[in-house]
Structure 1
Amino acid sequence: MAESGVGKPDRGRLEALIRDRNVVSYFQPIVHLATGAVAGMESLTRPGEGSGFAGVAELFDEAERLGMLWELERVTRARTVETAGRLLPPHAQLFLNNTPRVVADPRFAGELLRAVRDATGLTPNRVVVEVTERSESQYTEGLAEQVALLKSYGFEVAIDDVGAGTSGLNRIMALRPRWLKLDRELVESIHADRVKQNLVKFFLHFARLSGVRLVAEGLERREEIEELIELGVPYAQGFYLGRPAPTVEPPSHELTSWLRSRHGEAEHGRAADPAKIRVARYARDVSTVESGTPVGAALGAMTRGGATDGVVVVESDRIVGWCERRALERAAGEGRAGAPVDLCVTSGTGVVEPGATVLESLEIASARGESSINLPLIVGDGPMLIGVVYVTDLLRAAALVAREFQTRISPLTGLPGRVKADEHLASLIKNARAVGEAHDAAVIDIRGLADYNARFGYELGDQLLRGLADLSRSALARNDPRVFLAHLGDDLFLAVAPAGVLRQRLGRLAVRFDRSVGRFESAVSSSPDGFDAAGDEDRAGPRAPGVTPTLRVVFLADVLARITRPGDVIHLAAAARDGRRGVVRRTHGGSTVTVLDPDTRPPDAMRAA
């Protein structure tokens, strides 16, 4: 918007710019983070030389004040469409910026359709109409109707600046876009902001359930991209990936290689987490036919392997839908073997992106209604078709997820279990040999838990373990993604972090445990949870004579230099407890932190065991 104090609008220079079409189209790449490929390019207008405008903001502000946005955007749109057809990479889409007021104009959809049809290398399904914001009042009457018309012509729609200004949930519900573009405010320094990470997770979950594609805008730092890849955001744009230019430049070979490598690492981590297992793993092969293929030819394609109860219809760079065998056979039996297969496309099938989880896919399938329960979900993204999955496939996968979850996540504390802890340590051991990064570890257990269970019962003993898990999250992890916590079983816990992170925090954990146990024992008769994960250090409750549990912590500095396999960590801790090989520090409440001697190695007998 124009700032206060801006001079009187100059209608003459704006009319001259429009008359002479004195604007230049720039393009910024939208990058697929899994492959580094250019998935789209956003058009950005710049005023031409000699126009008298200092920049694009001044140009559009003046057009808005003079009521000439339609005339200006008609020129910028025409320029962009003329240029883009020659520059657009294969399978990429053109993102065309438009203000809501212009999109709502009854002339817009028809003019855009004619311009795209006349352009070389463009079709409606390769154009995304990006609805941008310029003011609070621009939710224009008729916008939703015109967006529906654009979709009927084959165009896709994006909402820009989601998470800032007025690009909110109401607009998403009204326009039902194919794309959401997350504003820079949501992703700036996201690697260090847990709230922003949670907001992006919300949008990701919504996008997968709703068949929407997500783009993160304004990326300028590698750390931001790393976090977005870890979260599972599929597309991004920003100066780090490519600056606006008159031509489209793909990311460098070095950047592309890094993106692929980083995405592969993230996928490996997700594959180890049952709750994040991708639906693409269970997709069945399927036959495809092009839109417009005769019904008879489509029936013939079904005999060439893959799923035999239907085919997926595709058109250029998009998936049209699913055709059931029964529908094709019925059409052929009625003498319509030469009719286009599109007439037999079944509504309600649904497309899920390959990155959707099994559980998200089940949610999508269950939301389709009983009449569609036997139809498959198509697994694909744009031109990439993976296959199809049926509800029975998803149910079997969900049962596997549940079994895997039980072995990898402690149902009592919610922390990773022994299997996942071993995987994490094995990965660190492997990477330490390559990069030499040092890590410390701590093995934690509760001394006197058996007596405590006998005195108070196993239910309160379990509550004690959950309390220790919560305290560990608060005192050790502190929302620090570098700290790995695990519940290895019974009362045994593990913490691993880069060197220098854990040592001071462990002493605080022991003190807080002692104080919280006192409050816990005094509150068990009146409260379901006497633990204070926030740490009220000034008062300790009464103790139960003879059965007060204490914490036993063994600190293992530079642990990766001492071990060759994950189980060695437990053997080192046992050596410290049983042989007293180290310096013992005791809290006032009786908990201990033992710092193991630096030269201690796992005993051979223990390792053999």
Structure 2
Amino acid sequence: MQSSHQITVQTIIAEKLINTVFQPIFDIENETIVGYEALTRGPQNTPLFSPEALFEAAQQHNLLSELELLCRARAISRFVELKLEGKLFINICLNVMLNKDHPYGETIKLVEQSGLSPNQVVIEISEKSPFPNSDILLKALNKYRKFGFDIAIDDVGVGYSGLKQWSYLRPDIVKIDRYFIDQCDQDVMKREFLKILFELGRISNALIIAEGIETKEEFELLRELGMVYSQGFFLAKPNEYPIQKFPTLDVCVSPKQVSTIETIEMLVTTTKTVEYNQSVNHVYDIFTQNINIYAIPVLRENKPLGMIFRNQLMESYSDIYGRALFSKKMAVDIKSNNHMILDHSMPLEQVSTLLTARANAEFTQPSIITKNGYYLGVVSPRDLLKSITESKLEQARYANPLTGLPGNVAIEKEIDYMLKHKRPFNLAYLDLNHFKPFNDIYGYAKGDLLLKTLANSIMINTSNKCCFVGHIGGDDFIIMFKNNDVEKVCQNILTDFSQQSLSFITPEHQKQQGYYALDRSGKNIFHPLVSLAIGVIQPDTTCYNSYHQIADLASKAKSEAKKNTGSSLFICRRQKQHSFDITSV
């Protein structure tokens, strides 16, 4: 036996000295594991331990095909042995896939022998290697598709062919390269690029996986941008015995658990559908027998591929040769992609933005709604527009007219929802000190501008996904926190507002740290500069059942904060209705 430092790739292949580790891929909306990526490691404590070194050595000795077959066989057998759930992602080298000497059909043999189904396996190809001629690659991939495998493109965004291959190959799954994930929370360009990729995934009906997530900040930003499927060290590292349950993460509570926002799912209706391989004549018969059906979704294994529209098909059949031309075609051959495919959890406000960006001809077409990538139903444009209009009117009706923030009705509704569902939250009550003297000295117009400045400071420093901001009225605001960043966010608001408010104060008054104005009894007395008081409560939601109880607690916390001079933060550490533990910051 060779020493560990002299071991060769020939020996590794001959003696099958590789190890397979698995990294989970998560559905963060449903907090489940949807699959595992199989990754190969060489013998430990050898120069060929890393996959990069191992595959480079195999390529140098013209043994890539042999090494890949060994890796696939080991990945499949270990996946079954460990009884892992979900899909198995297997990496395949393009050079091997297109090598004429590589044995055809070996992967399907290995899969069938193991007892797995091909639809449990994803063939993952990397965009880091130069893609060959698109037609050649498409033919190679179609061989895998015929067996029932899903196709994933890995490392999208850094390769030679970029988005062109995505458009042409139409993969089932797209994985975003780590380069765009790395510190995306600190890079505006990466953030915008990621937005585009998630939107392209929605349009092309491809599942998007953000891989290589290593920090909490990256994870939270990606989820805010629309990420559903994720992979990376922050969630779980590759392991020979990978985790099989969703991990406990120190992140903001998932929006799906706390959101009271109306989503597109509330408008879903059912309609007739057809399978991709059913005849066009069958589709035509459905339209002729159901005069109220204007569009039919085309599905494959309950995943939407497109839509067939009545007016287009009827126009084609009206031609003298129409029926003869279409009689041998399948539904998938005539489907249209000019429609929206929306996830069931998408807020109506976001749908409104997408809808208004559509072309006029597409504006009146129904949208397909999915859940976890599978067909759920359709939404008519009429129902969508009606609901969006009603939602906008309700928001406008109950919003504060000065700041546009949710008013008392929305605030009460949000708090009651959290109490009813026993969701933990922190509540901050914000109030300006000495606001009346400011109004008296500088006028109500500047007073309104100061309130807008405070509202802006709050919105800049809070996350829409983890915080609910409301304007009670006058100079009173609330923030409901659904994460644990309360003290940090409140301190940022205090600092930001203190700096911004000085732009409204004359240099003379800044120097004096105040001004003379009439008090409520008509006496001319000195008042300090306007400042901000924040009182925070952390209620035990199992002990309260009404908005009024929470409002009373928050008001007491605010009063404690206002006892201090200047801007201050008071946090009540008590969770139940007893005397306060005072923490002033």
Q: Following the alignment from structure 1 to structure 2, what is the Cα–Cα distance between the partners of residues 501 and 392?
A: 41
Deviations along 1:494-535, whole A, 9 cap, x unmatched?
A: 246699987899899779867754531449xxxxxxxxxxxx
* Residues 1:465 and 2:451 are matched in the alignment: yes
Could you say what secondary structure the match of 1:287 adopts?
coil
Indicate if the aligned counterparts of 2:295 and 2:366 stay in contact, CA closer than 8 A: no
Could you say what secondary structure the match of 2:227 adopts?
coil
* 2:386 aligned residue: 396
* Residues 1:546 and 2:532 are matched in the alignment: no
* 1:606 aligned residue: none
Cα distance, 1:481–1:546 mapped onto 2, change above 3 Å: farther
Q: Following the alignment from structure 2 to structure 1, what is the Cα–Cα distance between the partners of residues 565 and 66?
A: 75
Indicate if the aligned counterparts of 2:562 and 2:568 stay in contact, CA closer than 8 A: no
Cα distance, 1:502–1:264 mapped onto 2, change above 3 Å: closer
After superposition, residues 37-76 of structure 1 pair within 5 angstroms as: 38-46=33-41, 54=49, 56-64=51-59, 66=60, 68=62, 70-72=64-66, 74-76=68-70
After superposition, residues 70-149 of structure 1 pair within 5 angstroms as: 70-72=64-66, 74-76=68-70, 79=73, 93-99=87-93, 105=98, 116=108, 120=112, 128-132=122-126, 138-140=128-130, 142=132, 144=134, 146-149=136-139
* 1:208 aligned residue: 202
* 2:9 aligned residue: 14
* 1:586 aligned residue: 565
* 1:283 aligned residue: 268
Q: Following the alignment from structure 1 to structure 2, what is the Cα–Cα distance between the partners of residues 498 and 297?
A: 51
Deviations along 1:365-391, whole A, 9 cap, x unmatched?
A: 666645544443322257621112344
Could you say what secondary structure the match of 1:425 adopts?
helix
Q: After TM superposition, give the deviation of residue 569 of structure 1 in Å.
A: 5.6
Q: After TM superposition, give the deviation of residue 321 of structure 1 in Å.
A: 2.4
For normalisation by structure 1, the TM-score amounts to 0.65
Q: Which amino acid aligns with 2:57?
A: E
Q: After TM superposition, give the deviation of residue 182 of structure 1 in Å.
A: 4.6
Q: Following the alignment from structure 1 to structure 2, what is the Cα–Cα distance between the partners of residues 558 and 85?
A: 45
Cα distance, 1:554–1:61 mapped onto 2, change above 3 Å: closer
Q: Which amino acid aligns with 1:586?
A: T
Deviations along 1:115-167, whole A, 9 cap, x unmatched?
A: 5499638898765442337xxxx5526365555445666475534356xxx73
Indicate if the aligned counterparts of 1:117 and 1:123 stay in contact, CA closer than 8 A: no
Find 2:439's aligned residue among 420, 445, 452.
Answer: 452
* 1:605 aligned residue: none
Q: After TM superposition, give the deviation of residue 68 of structure 1 in Å.
A: 3.3
Could you say what secondary structure the match of 1:334 adopts?
helix
Q: After TM superposition, give the deviation of residue 96 of structure 1 in Å.
A: 2.9
* 1:167 aligned residue: 158
Percent identity (aligned):
20
* 2:335 aligned residue: 345
Indicate if the aligned counterparts of 1:150 and 1:156 stay in contact, CA closer than 8 A: no
Cα distance, 1:328–1:125 mapped onto 2, change above 3 Å: farther
Cα distance, 1:429–1:62 mapped onto 2, change above 3 Å: same
After superposition, residues 357-376 of structure 1 pair within 5 angstroms as: 357-358=347-348, 360-361=350-351, 369-376=359-366
Q: After TM superposition, give the deviation of residue 568 of structure 1 in Å.
A: 4.8
Cα distance, 1:430–1:401 mapped onto 2, change above 3 Å: closer
Could you say what secondary structure the match of 2:244 adopts?
coil
After superposition, residues 237-276 of structure 1 pair within 5 angstroms as: 237=231, 251-252=244-245, 255=246, 266-270=255-259, 272-273=260-261
Q: Which amino acid aligns with 1:235?
A: Y
Indicate if the aligned counterparts of 1:289 and 1:298 stay in contact, CA closer than 8 A: yes
After superposition, residues 458-607 of structure 1 pair within 5 angstroms as: 458=445, 460-472=446-458, 485-495=469-479, 517-522=501-506, 546=517, 550-551=530-531, 553=533, 555=535, 565-568=546-549, 584-587=563-566
Could you say what secondary structure the match of 2:293 adopts?
strand
Could you say what secondary structure the match of 2:162 adopts?
helix
Q: After TM superposition, give the deviation of residue 60 of structure 1 in Å.
A: 1.4
Q: Following the alignment from structure 2 to structure 1, what is the Cα–Cα distance between the partners of residues 338 and 488?
A: 57
Q: After TM superposition, give the deviation of residue 465 of structure 1 in Å.
A: 0.8
Q: Following the alignment from structure 2 to structure 1, what is the Cα–Cα distance between the partners of residues 90 and 483?
A: 49
Runs of 5+ in structure 1 lacking a partner? Answer: 1-5, 524-537, 603-609
For normalisation by structure 2, the TM-score amounts to 0.67
* 1:532 aligned residue: none
Could you say what secondary structure the match of 2:384 adopts?
helix
* 2:306 aligned residue: 321
Indicate if the aligned counterparts of 1:354 and 1:380 stay in contact, CA closer than 8 A: yes
Could you say what secondary structure the match of 1:348 adopts?
coil
Indicate if the aligned counterparts of 2:126 and 2:153 stay in contact, CA closer than 8 A: yes
Indicate if the aligned counterparts of 2:208 and 2:227 stay in contact, CA closer than 8 A: yes
Q: After TM superposition, give the deviation of residue 404 of structure 1 in Å.
A: 4.5
Indicate if the aligned counterparts of 1:327 and 1:344 stay in contact, CA closer than 8 A: no
Cα distance, 1:326–1:218 mapped onto 2, change above 3 Å: same
Q: Which amino acid aligns with 1:281?
A: M
Aligned residues: 544
Q: After TM superposition, give the deviation of residue 34 of structure 1 in Å.
A: 3.7
Q: Following the alignment from structure 2 to structure 1, what is the Cα–Cα distance between the partners of residues 354 and 109?
A: 35
Q: After TM superposition, give the deviation of residue 585 of structure 1 in Å.
A: 3.0
Could you say what secondary structure the match of 1:286 adopts?
coil
Indicate if the aligned counterparts of 1:287 and 1:312 stay in contact, CA closer than 8 A: yes
Cα distance, 1:567–1:183 mapped onto 2, change above 3 Å: farther
Indicate if the aligned counterparts of 1:41 and 1:93 stay in contact, CA closer than 8 A: yes
Q: After TM superposition, give the deviation of residue 463 of structure 1 in Å.
A: 1.6
Deviations along 1:317-343, whole A, 9 cap, x unmatched?
A: 643322234566665982666754334
Q: Following the alignment from structure 2 to structure 1, what is the Cα–Cα distance between the partners of residues 401 and 105?
A: 56
Indicate if the aligned counterparts of 2:490 and 2:534 stay in contact, CA closer than 8 A: no
Cα distance, 1:107–1:322 mapped onto 2, change above 3 Å: farther
Cα distance, 1:558–1:354 mapped onto 2, change above 3 Å: closer
Cα distance, 1:220–1:541 mapped onto 2, change above 3 Å: same
After superposition, residues 298-313 of structure 1 pair within 5 angstroms as: 298=283, 308-313=293-298
Cα distance, 1:123–1:173 mapped onto 2, change above 3 Å: farther
Deviations along 1:551-583, whole A, 9 cap, x unmatched?
A: 474746666699763245656777899xx9998
Indicate if the aligned counterparts of 1:187 and 1:217 stay in contact, CA closer than 8 A: yes
Deviations along 1:366-425, whole A, 9 cap, x unmatched?
A: 666455444433222576211123443433343244335435765754655434432443
* Residues 1:334 and 2:323 are matched in the alignment: yes
Q: After TM superposition, give the deviation of residue 444 of structure 1 in Å.
A: 0.7
Cα distance, 1:518–1:357 mapped onto 2, change above 3 Å: closer
Q: Which amino acid aligns with 1:546?
A: A
Runs of 5+ in structure 2 lacking a partner? Answer: 519-526, 579-585
* 1:607 aligned residue: none
Q: Following the alignment from structure 2 to structure 1, what is the Cα–Cα distance between the partners of residues 401 and 63?
A: 59
* Residues 1:234 and 2:228 are matched in the alignment: yes
Cα distance, 1:442–1:376 mapped onto 2, change above 3 Å: closer
* 2:429 aligned residue: 442
Q: Which amino acid aligns with 1:584?
A: K
Cα distance, 1:408–1:158 mapped onto 2, change above 3 Å: farther
Cα distance, 1:398–1:557 mapped onto 2, change above 3 Å: closer
Cα distance, 1:491–1:356 mapped onto 2, change above 3 Å: same
Q: After TM superposition, give the deviation of residue 285 of structure 1 in Å.
A: 0.8
